[in-house]
Chain A
């Protein structure tokens, strides 16, 4: 392909996942009833705060001594009168404005200080981070309410100053959040790409970093506002507010002092503070769900599920499993909710059979359904996967229908070798303990017997010093050795079938060759059947006896390995084979 017509062929790659059109955040929020109620409530509070002069029936200092301590709903003062004969409703409405202003002050101060500090500390790290973290820790160690009371004695009753200081006191929560996000994305390749194209740091921070912290900051703001309301009301309740202007906390405090004379008067200001705090918290929670949840797919109802299952065409009676088959998969269909009440099939009618001593390759590209098929055999499909039909016959039992049989077989008779050896070992437990726990879960052995058995196997899989490796933690061994450990775990229970999901993809080629050699030897020694999922045609050619080629959830072709490579029947197989690059021959 030296003239390269290939590059001019229109791109036929399918998008990884057909993305649902992204709905506007507000519309998605509005679908959550609690969020909707919160938003409407908060909108009303804002309107009331701004429109208090028009809405309030009286001025906040209008006094009618005949209505002193009037109970709610008994006079023209709808929510009752206070100890000085003022209308509680009017005073609450007038106070709303001050509350909103205080909230804005807290939010602005805490966000500006926290975000700027977090951005700088997270992006530049080094000394900037050391200093900023020290200051942040010091602030967090200060007792907030005590500090605010002390502040009152110095500056007098200025609730705005107090709230600004409070904003500073809670800035560390924003700081820590932003620093963590930025430190995480600092090593993202797109930040490197921006550096390579010569962009100055401040531009990278503004374009890339700020975009990444936007969502968590918006969510955090809801909690900051809720805390602001609580603290402001608390300070005023303690009498630290300005007595000349009405405030929610102040009104609550005045009503509280006359609670024996007028029980109902505390209800309105208390509920107002509670509901407003609650609305901010609920809204922040709903925002978190909308902005940060990856999957928006709702699970199917049972009726939708039944409809999906019914729509699957049941195949005609198939021949029973071959006599010597160890594993037979028949007409397997697996789907996932598509988010619109339907099911998207990822495996559509797959059938294969594996004999003892056979290594059966399941080859295909990403999204072809090969891993889903393997996980179905293991009974390890993700939670939202839906088995639409088919059977997995192992030793006379249908593992899909008979959960007990599946559980009994898994680990003991069907073992699993995963793709990423490191992430399949628990970093906090020694290799020996992990292997022992796994083995004793399926075989009744004493700890000592298990240890001896495992040491023998570790030696068998090519680990030079099993005794030492037994007591190491996973981070102390290489990836190739970790895969040998996992293979040890897989064969320890003396299984009949091994399902290996890209067992060498994460390994270097020289290590891969050794691991493939080992798998082949184990197969010969123990007569194991093996399902080997891979995308690498070289691996297929090296180790498989039979190959099933998967494409779009179906097996398009199944042949013995030599026949497949010499005379592929399907165009897709031919395309796949032609894409293999030889390390020695020029294509």
Chain B
């Protein structure tokens, strides 16, 4: 389906890392597309390859085969220089707001780093705009990242991603290192930015609740494959794949009465599926 609004298309994507003797396939024939202004949730457990898909799209992980198309152009294997031209519309927000900001640089330096080809007055103006867009005080520019809390740091990371006015932001677990109340605010900010700028999100998370709250559509990953892709409601309410059902039921809800029922239901489903132990995956991977 070639649609005029299709922003990103991923087809038959494989990512494999050569280990000592054999190739380890981390991503196996993954394909999806993403429209402008849409949010696609990518949910899976550790080792499912969800982070790797994001990194492949960003050019940070080697693509073994397959094709990634952004705004109609092939961006599968670009050099850094080509990327600056063709793929500057794809930016990223990473999981850890502590290691994603250089501790030795001021916030203003971090924010203008991607935009080097304008004058210093314009840079100052841009910093002010970006800080304003993420709800940080205008005088934050001359401070260092360590002076901010986790939630504020993640706002700075969002501002940096916005600096190049992207059309797609890869959000790799952007709130999993944050407190619950902070998470609510950061998710709200991301949604507000989307309404304002029609940016599309590829929203990667292990947390079904977060994915449910953010996504229009959801893809469920298991061992490097997409096992189910559908609208966010369908995945949440009528999951079809047995793994999606297990994942749903294993996620605890903040309601003791309901959770007790779900617990019973989960054990019943596990017995039906003939599974009573954790799924076997690579034991050592993390995301």
Bin the interface of chain A by size: 35 or more
Assess whether B62 is interfacial by the CB under 8 Å rule: no
Mask of A443-479 contacts with B, CB within 8 angstroms, 1/0: 0000000000000000000101000000000011111
A-B contact pairs, 13 of them (CB 8 A): A6-B185, A11-B135, A13-B151, A13-B185, A197-B160, A211-B102, A365-B179, A510-B278, A512-B250, A565-B255, A576-B181, A580-B180, A582-B253
Q: Is the CB–CB distance between A580 and B254 below 8 Å?
A: yes
A508 contacts across to B, CB distance below 8 A: 45-46, 206, 278
Residues 169 to 196 of chain B near chain A (Cβ within 8 Å):
179-185, 188-189, 191-192, 195
Q: How far is the CB of B135 from chain A (nearest CB, A)?
A: 6
Q: Closest approach, in angstroms, between the C-beta of A532 and any C-beta of chain B?
A: 13
Identify the interface centre among A189, A214, A481: most chain B CB within 10 Å of its CB. A189
Q: Does B192 lie within 8 Å of A192, measured CB to CB?
A: no
Q: Report the separation of the CA atoms of residues A464 and B277 in the bound assembly, to the nearest whole angstrom.
A: 9
CA A475 – CA B284 in complex, angstroms?
Answer: 7
Beyond A462-B277, A513-B266, whether A15 also contacts B149 by CB under 8 A is: yes
A511 on the B face (CB < 8 A): yes
Does chain A have a CB within 8 A of B198? no
- In the complex, which residues 240-278 of chain B have their Cβ closer than 8 Å to any Cβ of chain A? 246-259, 263, 266-267, 277-278
Known: A195-B60, A576-B180, A584-B236. A201 touches B254 (CB 8 A): no
Chain B: CB-nearest residue to A515: B278
Q: Does the CB pair B192–A189 fall under 8 Å? A: no
B146 touching A189 by the CB < 8 A rule? Answer: no
CB < 8 Å neighbour of B283 from A6, A477, A513? A477
Residue of B nearest to A482 (CB): B283
Known: A510-B250, A541-B255. A480 touches B182 (CB 8 A): no
Known: A15-B149, A189-B99. A582 touches B209 (CB 8 A): yes
Q: Say whether A212 contacts B259, CB under 8 Å.
A: no
Contact (A366, B278) CB under 8 Å given A11-B135, A201-B80: no
- List residues of B whose CB falls within 8 A of some A CB: 45-46, 58-60, 80-81, 83-84, 87-88, 90-92, 94-96, 99-102, 104-105, 110, 113-114, 135-136, 146-152, 155, 157, 160, 163-164, 179-185, 188-189, 191-192, 195, 206-210, 212-213, 233, 236-237, 246-259, 263, 266-267, 277-279, 281, 283-284
B99's partner among A9, A188, A198, A562 (CB-CB below 8 A) is A188
Q: How many A-B residue pairs have CB under 8 A?
A: 222
> In whole angstroms, how far apart are the Cα atoms of A365 and B181 in the complex?
8
Chain A residues engaging chain B, CB cutoff 8 angstroms = 1, 4, 6-11, 13-16, 19, 188-190, 192-201, 207-208, 211-212, 214, 365-366, 462, 464, 475-481, 508-514, 516-517, 535-542, 561-562, 565, 575-587
